[in-house]
Structure 1
Amino acid sequence: MSSPDPATTDPDLAEQLVRLTRRMHRAQKRHMESLDIALTPAQTRLLRIVDHYRDGTPPRMADLAARLEVVPRAVTTLVDALEAKDAVRRVPDPANRRVIRIELTDTGRSTLHALRGARRDAAREILAPLTAEQRDVLGGLLSTLVDGAAARC
């Protein structure tokens, strides 16, 4: 017997998840404003993706486009904006000078550190009404959902 469709089991669950996500984004944005960080969500995501490559070869524009699931032109616009903020830089690939790779600058790494702090502060604010035990249960449930989604991809 298959498990019931979660959307039909509790139609309010999807709406609650959307509302919580929006609330988290607003709280994170407030914390970022207090740090005087002005980045779009797409720019923030691009910084996180570039940072993911820190122990290996920096990504190419095409790698970033694939990870962001956007056209290469959109990545060019994001990189241009982040380069203007001194958060990333374009560097030629030593093996093929026609290939351009994107790496974080010290400013980009500092910005990411501050963004992570803003995200933690926002989560702390959102989760404040929960007891430690409730936070542990929620963390376990979220891990199950994340792991389940990753297994289907």
Structure 2
Amino acid sequence: MHAPDDAAEQIAALLDGIVRRQRRASREGLGDTVTHGQFRVLRTLDRAERPLRLSELAAQLGIVPRSATSVVDDLESAGLLARQPDPNDRRATLVALTPAGTQILTTLRQNRREAMATELTRLTPTEQSTLIHLLQRLADD
């Protein structure tokens, strides 16, 4: 039997490997078009369901506004999001997904889902349910 620290390290390493495979799979067919950090920005804007100020975006991502500005600059250059004036504050700028950004996000999510579905075929339906249950327990705050 493994010591608790050994189990913790083994689980952490296995989860890291799964996450890396998922990230790679989600970008399949897109090359290096979108980094993981850029994917997080696109996903955050999509979930917000409205344009966000850069400061709001940074806060939701847990990063400093300067870092958010750099990522937004790159995504705007790629045509995946656009800045627009805030109608409630002339000094502020909002960031919103473009149709191309929405399409890339859809493709990334579809690739990720398909890759996970392929991995899950190795488990029985009962094992899949158990995995979901255990991961939910670990994910609960």
One fold, TM greater than 0.5? yes
Where on the TM-score scale, by shorter chain, does this alignment land: which range? 0.7 to 0.9
2:48 corresponds to:
53
Q: CA deviation at 1:129?
A: 1.6
Which ranges of 4 or more aligned residues in structure 1 deviate by more than 6 Å? Answer: none
Q: TM-score, normalised by structure 1?
A: 0.81
| TM-score, with structure 2 as normaliser | 0.87
More moved, 22-31 vs 65-74: 22-31
Residue matched to 1:20: 15
* Structure 2 Cα separation of the partners of residues 139 and 17 of structure 1: 17
Unmatched tracts of structure 1, length 5 or more: 1-7
Distance (Å, rounded) in 1 between the aligned partners of 2:87 and 2:61: 25
More strand by share: 2
| CA-CA distance at 1:77 after TM superposition | 0.6
Q: Please name the residue that 2:63 is paired with.
A: 70
Indicate the larger mover: 68-77 or 21-30.
21-30
Check conservation: 1:28, 1:118, Cα contact below 8 A.
no
* Count of matched residue pairs: 140
The 1-side partners of 2:138 and 2:41 are apart by: 24
Report matched runs for 1:2-151 at 5 Å.
9=4, 11-36=6-31, 38-54=33-49, 57-146=50-139, 148-149=140-141
